[in-house]
Structure 1
Amino acid sequence: MVYLLLLVGFALLIKGADYFIDGSSNIATLFRVPPLIVGLTIVAFGTGAPEATVSIIAALEGSADVTIGNIVGSNILNISLVVGVTAFIFPLSVERPTIKKEIPFAFLSAVALIVLMSDRGLQVTDVNMITRSDGIIFLLFFSIFLYYVIEAARNSREQTSDIPLQSEETGTWGKNVLITIVGLAAIIFGGYLVVENSTDIAFRFGMSETLVGLTIVAIGSSLPELITSVTAAMKQQSEIALGNIVGSSIFNILFVLGVSSIISPLPVNDKLFFDVIVLLILTVFLFVFSRTKYKVAKSEGLILAIFYIVYLVYIVIRN
């Protein structure tokens, strides 16, 4: 029964994210919001909603290892496996602003994480912990990122006066609001099921909460990013695919961990330092690959995917 509920939870997360993205994107269109804001915020944050829900619920229940492990594991999976599979299907073209600002901002987010969780190393306290004040710092960084997104959108604003207030593609206000609410409700309930049942499975098999967060929960909650990015790549919309992944990674660390740690300070498992370092290395790889002819080629995508498989084997053995 536990496994069935876990699968139901994952299904609700995926389908809920799908409804949430569709509804909120249509509402943005009806509001005449520029496409750039929709791509960098609604799509990226919408696909990051499962990680947010799972991590916040885990924080409320005192499962810090699941909260942090889910965020770090999801980001590692996004940058390695999701980018790798997507690029292998169709090479990802990279716009220069993504290279110059967004990928470095994702790297800065990971650096901020490893600094703020290193209380013992910095001789702040005897216990490594992401505190409420650390959470506030994360949210301040997130507000800077949002400011950048809004300014970028203003600078590249397209003429939207010809967009009708209602069309067959966007639907009515009422329909889109309903779809958005239903999607959000499915994400929240699905996140609850995933946290409860994956933690139960961890205890049954003697697995640590950290391992469960880095693997089962991270993979399940990252499925929306994988599905969205692969779909975008197949439609040859590689900017959306890569922007979705980078935006989600920034959102996960700065917003999700920020909110989670404000709800409840998060003790840090020492094993997670290795995983954050892996995340930093992967972000550098992505930056380097993105600068080669301004695209992530199939061969580079294959390297990233293999990297994740090797990493996954290692952390399973490490447990």
Structure 2
Amino acid sequence: MTYILFCIGLVALFLGGEYLVRGASNIARHFNLSPMVIGLTIVGFGTSAPELLVSVQAALAGQPAIAIGNVLGSNIANILLILGTSAVIAALMIPLRKVWRDLGIMIVATAALWVMLLDGVISRVDGVILLLGLAVFMVMAFVLGKEEPDLDAAPPAKMSISIAQTLGGLVVLVIGARLLVDSATIIAQSFGVSEAVIALTVVAVGTSLPELATSVIAAFRKQTEIAVGNVIGSNIFNILSILGITALITPIPADPRFASTDMPWVAGTAVVLVLFAVLLKGIPRLAGVALLAVYAGYVGLMMA
């Protein structure tokens, strides 16, 4: 039965991702927002919903390793696994002039989290700081994300249909992720895998599957700005929103291993994404293969 639920969750993720990308693209056109901004905000926040649910539930249940490990592992998976897979499907373009601020915010948020983890707890004050950073990011994204309408393009679907597609896709994504995380955790526990490793790998990948489904579908539809924006936005939301909200509800004790072992991976993958944007203006297919190989090595180290 566990394996059946796993398969049902996987199907739900990709169906939800298809409708989310379609609806979000139409919303962007209605408001003359670039697909990158929609990927950074609506899609990025929506696909981070599973991480939020898991982290809050874990913190309240006295499982801080899962609350923090879920976010760190998801950010690593977003860049190595999700962008790697998407780039293999279709080489990704990263328009630096549109995302340099967002990449900068991602780097600053990552550095701030690393500092917060050094004292062994993400406090309520830390949570307030993270949420203030989220507010600044959202204002910047929408104020600076307007673009001229394309008068030659076909008119988008009605706003009501676009909103229904987006919300429906998000609901299906969250349900699918929940089924996958629960079933995959049971499977991992049956093999004697520790809580921290489950959080950094099984739970992190499970809650990142909405991002994977959304970015892969966007890559197939040649909407690479949404694929890239989804990952950058999700990484920002994971730190500023998810850990901010969770810490505001209850301070989160942090195992020393997160600052010493896992944050270097989180920071390193963020820097690699910035280097791709600056030096290559995107992620070619061969680089996508390399990202996937690095992720396989990371999971191997975690499981060793």
- Give the structure 2 partner of residue 44 of structure 1: 44
Aligned to 1:283: 270
Q: Do structure 1's residue 237 and structure 2's residue 223 form an aligned pair?
A: yes
Quote the Cα distance in structure 2 between the aligned partners of 1:185 and 1:83.
Answer: 23
Structure 1, unaligned stretches of length 5 or more? 120-127
Change (3 A) 1:3 1:54: farther
**Which blocks of at least 5 consecutive residues in structure 2 are unaligned?**
none
Q: TM-score, normalised by structure 2?
A: 0.84
Aligned CA distance change for structure 1 residues 306 and 28 (closer, same or farther; 3 Å): closer
Deviations 1:180-209 (A, max 9, x none): 665555556566656666665565543322
Match of 2:76 in 1: 76
Across the aligned residues of Structure 1 and Structure 2, the Cα RMSD in angstroms comes to 3.0
Name 1:144's counterpart in structure 2: 136
1: CA distance, partners of 2:91 / 2:169: 31
| Contact residue 44 and residue 245 of structure 1 kept, 8 A | yes
The aligned residue for residue 122 of structure 1 is none
Letter aligned with residue 63 of structure 1: Q
Q: Indicate the residue corresponding to 1:302 in structure 2.
A: 289
Q: 1:233 to 1:193 in 2, by over 3 A?
A: closer
Report the CA distance between 1:13 and its aligned residue.
5.8
1:57 pairs with 2:57: yes
Query: Is residue 101 of structure 1 aligned with residue 101 of structure 2?
Result: yes
2:33 paired residue number: 34
Quick one: distance in 2 between partners of 1:236 and 1:16? 18
Correspondence 1:224 to 2:214: no
Aligned mates of 1:306, 1:73 — CA distance in 2: 16
Q: Deviations over 1:1-42 (max 9, x none)?
A: 555556556665665566566566666766x46345433211
CA distance in 2, matches of 1:88, 1:140: 36
CA offset digits 1:107-149 (Å, max 9, x no partner):
1111111111111xxxxxxxx1111111111101111111110
SS at match of 2:76: helix
Superposition pairs of residues 150-189 of structure 1, within 5 angstroms: 150-154=142-146, 157-159=147-149, 170=157, 173=160, 186=172
Query: Does the aligned pair in 1 maintain the 2:93–2:282 contact within 8 Å?
Result: yes
Deviations 1:31-87 (A, max 9, x none): x46345433211221222222222222223222111111111111011111111222
Instruction: Quote the offset at 1:220 in angstroms.
Output: 1.3
Alignment match, 1:123: none
1:276 to 1:163, Cα distance in 2 relative to 1, 3 A: same
Give the number of the structure whose alpha-carbon radius of gyration is greater.
1
Change (3 A) 1:72 1:161: same
Q: Is the 1:51–1:221 contact (alpha carbons within 8 Å) kept by the matching residues of 2?
A: yes
Q: Which amino acid aligns with 2:245?
A: V
Greater Cα offset, 98-107 or 175-184: 175-184
Partner of 1:211: 197
2:148 counterpart letter in structure 1? E
